[in-house]
Structure 1
């Protein structure tokens, strides 16, 4: 519908629960007061999911910018709507996904959605920093996903105001070098942190604040040469996954301080050639997986490997090349 200028009167669909609007180059408003006779309150009162895709000239959802348009909207996906201005108040919004380029006005308006639980940002190739205050006043935010933001240099610093956030997943942010103190400090509810395909990323002292973290995944980060000693303060850690770290030289002796560790995965870390003696102290370690680590795999071979005695107490051990 590349030639479409105005959408039909959606006020005549009072039972509408799902709406997808895609590839309309000229549409400026999802709902225009002057062109629709039906009341907007009758059009979107039951709408639960809204998907907007490839709408390069979309400015607002409503020409009158009403705040009561979508009382039941819980899932909202926005893809390549680069000039869409701030969102109206969406009192039931629980999931928001923003793909591609978007305006700073839209990002800033996220903070007013107090029911938001899950937030995604994908493939915004121009964004270096998130606007200040974007995540303030989000008392329900539990999961944050950031993927493919190739110029991003820092996570939003006000993330530590979200007191219930449990999971942060970061991938494909090739310009991200570290997570700053002001980002991680105060994240006492964070349980899962995943960092993948971030070519410049390195572990830093700020990880000492993640004392409640239970699951940590670090994958495809070639700058990492060692595990920063700050990680030993993650005393609640239960699962540690290290994958595709070509320059990781060794595992530190303080690894044995992670007393609650239950799962350890080492995948394609060729420079890691042995396990520290302290791994014997990890009496809660139940699963150990070692793949594509040729020298380490040999040393951990059952009964005959030089490091076998260090891990003989582990219940499930998998070693191989997949």
Structure 2
């Protein structure tokens, strides 16, 4: 058939619409399409190509899918090929004969003849992106230079990667990297697995990488110094990751030496990292000091400016770090993670810092509180997240008007946190408040109406000593949180009761008399105790959310107390409820009669998920289940006494609940789909 299309210039093969995982083959007669310029087989599953592909001497573009495993050795004859789009597989030998190539996304150095780095030398027209793998198989600077990377002016994105497996003893990585100097037009450079101790001289060449905008150096475990980068005028992003042996970041990084003096009698300004916007230091376990950028003491007619445009800084996994620079005039986002000492954090957040908009603090053992000036100086701070700071006892004593722009406040797993600022109510723009895993926190300061009106999401979980939970619930039930759409509570209810015995009745009365239109869409309550207070609070919240609540998740603790089988009656009045999740209701044996018999609830529920209710034997009656007219998805997990097996005609299984669910389109038990009539 192919003989009828010998003049074809472009061929795109797509699947016939029938899903199949079967592999397909191209006929050897493909070589007859000698006029073909473009061949695209990315739409079909082809693992291997026939040798006759090498006869397509005019082919300019070839594209294959991820299934392709091998290119034939005859590929070297495709001398007109310009664009090669294939998955990362072993390239055929003598790829260097394809002198017209412009697009070669990667090159894997091999040991076989015709697979060395020198194959790149003749590919003078390469452009765009080039990723190089297995550079440990390059053995000298001269061999590396044979790739002629320094002459490939159209390569703008380059990756140089060494394998880190089974590499012990001496290596020649330093000389190889010296020979892989790229063209000055390069914009993005990634280096991975390099095992040299120092980076090559071309990093510090004043004009060698002037167009570079982004550099990533990762998993270079033997490096003892970071490269010189401060002089690069267009560098916007730096990521240094996994430099295990680096102990100090200092003058070499900035590109400052003793030759900085100026012949001018006037004071001259010198800027390092003039365009840098993003800087990340990750996984540098031996790093102890990151020094300030300073001119040599002999220079007295210059002033130094460092990081004038830096907006994002991340310091992650530098456990021994003790000192960092303190001047970041434009810093907006700071992520500081997994440090032993609080000193780097307090240094970065010095008294002069006033530009922060987002701050994330994670696992800083030495941190007991925030700097007093942090919030007051950074009036544009929108997000503050503090997690796993084991010794944090408080944020700041008082906000005193600070934090006026704060929208998100997250505090996770700070076991010694005792108190929040007394004037938390001054956060009048706060939209999300999440406090989780702080067992020593006893109270949440009563909010001012301004904060109440802005709050959209409230999460209080793992606060085992919180004493004023009934107050929080009262705020909502009394319509003092009109914008609240998400409420997540996970606390032991008995501990939340203050000495005010009238609190419960006031909350219940407030929820029944307020008559307000709630905005609450998602409610999750995990009660770690089973008691009348817990049940009453749940009822009060549900009563205040009758017309708005869309998703409800209720969890108990599988205790043997009779109340652990309690399913709130108020659920039947939730007219907008579409998804209901029930977990760990240890004493529930069957659903109440009202489940499925109420028109408003029955006509809205679409998904029901029941999990770990170990005594549950019966679903609602078949009639009640049929009243759930929109229920299309039922999932049951870890309910060993609930029998959902399909009743066969030849059996008589009176205990099976299958007839009650046979009309539901999707039913799952412990992750396995159960066949129903609706499928």
TM-score by length of 2: 0.39
Q: 1:78 aligns with which of 322, 336, 343?
A: 336
- Structure (1 or 2) with the larger CA radius of gyration: 2
Q: CA RMSD in A?
A: 4.0
Residue of structure 2 in register with 1:124 after alignment: 389
Matched, 1:290 2:606: no
Counterpart Cα distance in 1 of 2:312 and 2:485? 32
Counterpart contact for 1:270–1:294, Cα < 8 Å: yes
Matched, 1:216 2:474: no
Structure 1 pair 293–189 and aligned structure 2 pair: CA distance change class (3 A) = farther
Residue of structure 1 in register with 2:472 after alignment: 206
Q: 2:361 aligns with which of 77, 81, 98?
A: 98
Counterpart contact for 1:166–1:190, Cα < 8 Å: yes
Counterpart Cα distance in 2 of 1:157 and 1:262? 39
Residue of structure 2 in register with 1:242 after alignment: 554
Unpaired runs of 5+ residues, structure 2, are 1-244, 256-270, 491-525, 638-669, 671-679
Deviates more, 1:239-248 or 1:120-129: 239-248
Cα offset, 1:50, TM superposition? 0.5
1:261-303 deviation per Cα after TM superposition (whole angstroms, max 9, x unaligned): 4433222232455458488454655443322224457334x72
Counterpart Cα distance in 2 of 1:70 and 1:20? 17
Residue of structure 2 in register with 1:19 after alignment: 279
After the TM superposition, which residues 133-282 of structure 1 pair with which residues of structure 2 at under 5 Å, given as runs?
A: 133-134=398-399, 136-176=401-441, 179-182=444-447, 186-198=451-463, 203-210=469-476, 211=481, 212-218=483-489, 222-223=528-529, 225=531, 226-227=534-535, 228=537, 230-232=540-542, 234-235=544-545, 237-243=549-555, 245-247=557-559, 249=564, 250-255=566-571, 260-272=576-588, 274=591, 277=594, 280=598, 281-282=600-601
Unpaired runs of 5+ residues, structure 1, are none
Matched, 1:303 2:615: no
Counterpart contact for 1:108–1:133, Cα < 8 Å: no
Residue of structure 2 in register with 1:319 after alignment: 635
Residue of structure 2 in register with 1:52 after alignment: 315
Secondary structure of 1:187's counterpart equals: helix
Structure 1 pair 216–119 and aligned structure 2 pair: CA distance change class (3 A) = same
Structure 1 pair 176–91 and aligned structure 2 pair: CA distance change class (3 A) = closer
Secondary structure of 2:386's counterpart equals: strand
1:11-67 deviation per Cα after TM superposition (whole angstroms, max 9, x unaligned): 52222222234445642x6525466988554x32332321124365646642xxx5x
Residue of structure 2 in register with 1:31 after alignment: 292
- Structure of greater relative contact order (alpha carbons < 8 Å, 6+ residues apart): 1
TM-score by length of 1: 0.74
Counterpart contact for 1:130–1:155, Cα < 8 Å: yes
